[in-house]
Amino acid sequence: MLRNGLEPWHLLIVAIVVIVLFGSKKLPDTARALGRSMRILKSEAQAMKDETATKGEAATTTAVTAPVETPAPAQSPSQ
């Protein structure tokens, strides 16, 4: 049934159905709205990625290390 996947005539039928459903006058507005939504989604995803990267850097740079104590020099007994 779906051996070959989508063929060019399938896309033509889908395009005709979309034009009939939405009308040719509303298609540019719909495309603009879809483009805006995709840009917003992309920017939000990038912001989340940057935020998690920043948190990862902050966790590694603010790690607390114990101070290293140097032993006092050995004193020789005074005579």
The domain in which residue 34 lies consists of: 26-57
Which helix H or strand E contains 40, and what residues bound it? helix 27-61
Whole-angstrom distance, CA of residue 36 vs CA of residue 28:
12
DSSP classification of residue 9 = H
Q: Is pLDDT above 60 for 2?
A: no
Per the CB < 8 A criterion, the answer to whether 19 and 27 are in contact is: yes
Q: Is residue 50 part of a domain?
A: yes
Per the CB < 8 A criterion, the answer to whether 22 and 15 are in contact is: no
Q: Is residue 9 part of a domain?
A: no
pLDDT, tens only, 20-68: 888 888 888 888 999 999 999 999 999 999 988 888 776 665 555 556 6
Q: Is residue 42 part of a domain?
A: yes
pTM: 0.47
Q: How confident is the model at residue 54, as a pLDDT?
A: 84
- φ and ψ at residue 19, rounded to 5 degrees: -65, -40
Q: Is residue 73 part of a domain?
A: no
Q: Is residue 71 part of a domain?
A: no
Q: Is residue 11 part of a domain?
A: no
Q: Is residue 20 part of a domain?
A: no
Q: How confident is the model at residue 21, as a pLDDT?
A: 85
Q: How confident is the model at residue 9, as a pLDDT?
A: 86
Q: How many structural domains are present in the chain?
A: 1
Average pLDDT over residues 11-19: 89
Q: Is residue 31 part of a domain?
A: yes
